[in-house]
Chain A
């Protein structure tokens, strides 16, 4: 019964016969572990094809959705972290096995006649694996992928003659845009795997023609089944076991913060197998084309040329030359990778930049988990987070003069904004206006000190004024000064009367005389987002510190043209401490 079925199948498709021929294929010199390297390489590629197909069911290729979908895979989908991690680690294993495979082909002499085409296919496979790795690294569109893409496409652009055109074709325009991720995705999931499968198929066909190579023709041969099959499967399973273990141990592969084109301290590094070229980039500073064009071009040309070398040179000499070439090549690459890792591991700036990048990644993940990601894209997670964006802006724009608590006041030339807007901050100002934390460093703003010297307010009254003024921050936006003033709660505030007596003389409350330069800032809604934003945008307006303008004194520069509305909002919220400090830990579906 079974026999009739196999006979029928054999007759119609030839498959059972093919299987038998494969299983009975003679191996000169017998089964050995070394023969299993090629099979193991095929197996890691299969792992990547399977996990890749799974990831395709969730990943969304566009610059606004890529990060969100990878975040979703990593933190929300059942075992998503595992599938993504295994995909990544299996690609690393493919690179290593691809290299080993090439070295072995040369060492056993399987690169020369009649196996030249074998060899070229193997080299092509190796290059395709590198291409798949590089393109895959870009797809999450996180900081790592974005900056790697930036460097890699810039290098592509420097290729003589075709470079600029090629770069434009790859990224779909002159600069990164909506098409970039989609195009790279197309290459990663269709073009490159398609070519890889084609190479594998062609290799299998040629293998059927030439069979196992073996120099020991005299030794007895052994059929493929079962010993060599066992070796093949054992090595592949062991590698899968190690990769799975690595994935579980490292809890998958990390995801950096969403791509941020404005970041200026991200420690970009290529995939580890391109670290040698990255290192050479430093060596050949000023003549980068040696590292980006000549060396990689030369290596590929050399590899493709090896079978011809064997034709030119006598057999022994050719073998020695070819072997030393590949061994030196992959040996040197391994050493350079080690050197690159070592250099980073002892570089303090690298560690600091990496730690900042990790903090940003963690913050983005927490925000995405708590709030979800806006339809506009993941880049807004951090650019609309006061703690991240506000801190960045404060460091760049404000820290030169102001401090925010933790800086030594001697280094500042303006007030300390720690606690700005609070009762305590106002009370501190009323107590000692010429302290370095207030106007001590800005003698042109000496008005408060002049007041202090003649003030008759008691400590109690000062407390009341402080709480009165700190309350201005919450005056609702729709309330006009007139409507606010008729609220009995305002008139009855214990701070109102002393304020009227001593402060109102200089500080107006939403009722500045038209066109007249006020001698001190108007305090209506002082400390609110809008008052503070106006202070940053136009400190020289007549209702803020315009009087300094008139006197040609030391004053705060205007930041009006330098900040977008969103940035201004983030900066104000950051200064006021108006943001979520601690967040619940991100849900991570593993662990």
Chain B
């Protein structure tokens, strides 16, 4: 008789756990689905001709893209914005490109009212036109994006749009 009682006791405990596991395992897999989905990294996109850019004067450009978000496909629309800063003749890099997403917490960085620095409207992170941070609000400078110039006389400036994690001292791409 004690053996029979033990069988029911262990059996009952085992079955409860089995029941819970049978729900929890597929449930967790389902719940964690977004972790497995990668955000596709963008291609180089032509934004302007070099001749259109004025030296030392940042200009903002919208990144237009077709976006597929879960089940919806959106027609081409702005998905982000980029600051292009043309460098003086003879600099190793003719154009610097910064994503407008603030490395502090992701707000869109704008020009300061005096148009001499970048300033983020959310928590006043300030940056120079070289992207270096000017106060201690942001953890790092503005994030540079890769730039490609075409070979024509007045080359086309193409930028690869990427996103990075906010709040880290070094720039890490967003998975």
Contacts and interface: CB of A to CB of B under 8 A. Distances in A.
Given A78-B36, A82-B26, A241-B22, A229 B71 contact: no
Interface in B1-54: 5, 8-9, 11-12, 15-16, 18-19, 22-23, 26-27, 29-33, 36
Query: Which range holds the interface residue count of chain B?
Result: 20 to 34
A207 B15 CA distance: 23
Nearest to A236: B19
Secondary structure at chain A's binding surface: helix, strand, loop or mixed? Answer: helix
A50 B73 CA distance: 30
A467 interface: no
A466 to B, nearest CB: 39
A410 interface: no
Contacts of B26: 79, 82-83, 86
Given A237-B19, A240-B19, A57 B71 contact: no
Contact of A375 (B11, B16, B19, B74): B74
B120 to A, nearest CB: 30
B30 to A, nearest CB: 5
A68 B72 CA distance: 7
B153 interface: no
A373 B5 CA distance: 58
Residue of A51, A68, A78, A86 most packed against chain B (CB within 10 A):
A78
Nearest to A369: B71
B27 A78 contact: no
Query: Which range holds the interface residue count of chain A?
Result: 35 or more
Contact of B9 (A51, A226, A374): A226
Contacts of A237: 15, 18-19, 22
Contact of A54 (B8, B18, B30, B74): B30
A227 interface: yes
Contacts of A372: 68, 71-73
Contacts of B23: 47, 50-51, 240
A78 B71 contact: no
A226 B68 contact: no
A27 to B, nearest CB: 13
Residue of A230, A234, A241, A375 most packed against chain B (CB within 10 A):
A230
Nearest to A368: B71
Contacts of A241: 22
A69 interface: yes
A71 interface: yes
Interface of A: 43, 47, 50-51, 54, 57, 65, 68-69, 71-72, 76-80, 82-83, 86, 225-227, 229-230, 233-234, 236-237, 240-241, 244, 368, 371-375
16 contacts: A47-B23, A50-B27, A77-B33, A78-B29, A78-B30, A226-B9, A230-B12, A233-B11, A234-B11, A234-B15, A236-B19, A237-B19, A241-B22, A244-B22, A372-B71, A372-B72
